[in-house]
Amino acid sequence: MKQRWSMWALAAGTLSLSATAFAAAPTPEMISFACAGCHGTNGGSAGLTMPSLASQSKTAIVDAMKKFKSGERPSTVMGRLAKGYTDADFDAMANFFSKQKFHATQQVVDAAKAKKGADLQEANCSRCHLEEGKEGKDDTPVMASQWLPYLQMQMGLYQSGARKMPEKMAEKVKPLSKEDIEALLHFYASVK
Partner 1 sequence: MTLDRRSFIKVLGSASGLALAGCASQGPVGSTTEIMPKGGTRRVVVVGGGFGGAIAAKYVRMLDKSIEVVMIEKNRQFISCPFSNFYIAGLMNDMSTLTIGYDKLAANHGIKMVFGEVTAIDPAAKKVVTTEGTLAYDRLIVSPGIDFRTEEIEGYDARTAEIFPHAWKAGAQSTLLRNQLQSMKDGGTVVISMPLVPYRCPPGPYERASLIASYLKKHKPKSKLILLDANPDVVSKKPLFTKAWSTYYKDNFQYLNGKKVTKVDTGAGLVSVEGIDDFKGDVINLIPAQRAGMIAINSGLAGDDKKWCPVDAISFESTRHKGIHVIGDSAAPASDGPPMPKSGYSANSQAKVCAMNVVNLMNGKETIELSGINVCYSAISEHESVSIAAVYTVKGGKIMSVPNSGGISPVDFSMAKAEHAYGESWLRNILTEMST
Q: Which x/- pattern, by CB under 8 A, does the window 150-189 give for partner 1?
A: ---x------------------------------------
Question: How far is residue 107's CA from residue 147's CA, in Å, rounded to a whole number?
Answer: 7
CA atoms of 12 and 18, how far apart (whole Å): 10
Under the binding rule (CB under 8 A), the answer on residue 25 touching partner 1 is yes
Sign of CA dihedral 35, 38, 44, 49: negative
5 binds partner 1 (CB under 8 A): yes
| Cα atoms in the Cβ-side hemisphere of radius 13 Å centred on 29 | 1
Burial of 11 (0-12, 13-18, 19+ CB in 10 A): exposed
Per CB under 8 A, does 19 bind partner 1?
Answer: yes
Verify binding: residue 17, partner 1, rule CB under 8 A. Answer: yes
Residue nearer to partner 1 on the CB measure, 70 or 126? 70
Q: From CA 104, how far away is CA 146, in angstroms rounded?
A: 8
Size of the site for partner 1 (CB under 8 A): 50
Site for partner 1 in 72-131 (CB under 8 A): 76-77, 80-85, 89
For residue 129, the minimal CB distance to partner 1 (Å) is 23
What's the closest the beta carbon of residue 15 comes to partner 1, in angstroms? 6
Residue 164 to residue 110: CA distance in whole angstroms: 28
189 strand-pairing partners: none
Cα separation, 186 vs 172, whole angstroms: 17
> Is residue 47 involved in binding partner 1 (CB under 8 A)?
yes
- Using CB under 8 A, pick the residue from 38, 120, 165, 169 that binds partner 1: 38
149 binds partner 1 per the rule CB under 8 A? yes
Site residues, partner 1 (CB under 8 A):
1-2, 4-5, 8-9, 11-13, 15-17, 19-27, 29-31, 33-41, 45-50, 76-77, 80-85, 89, 149, 153
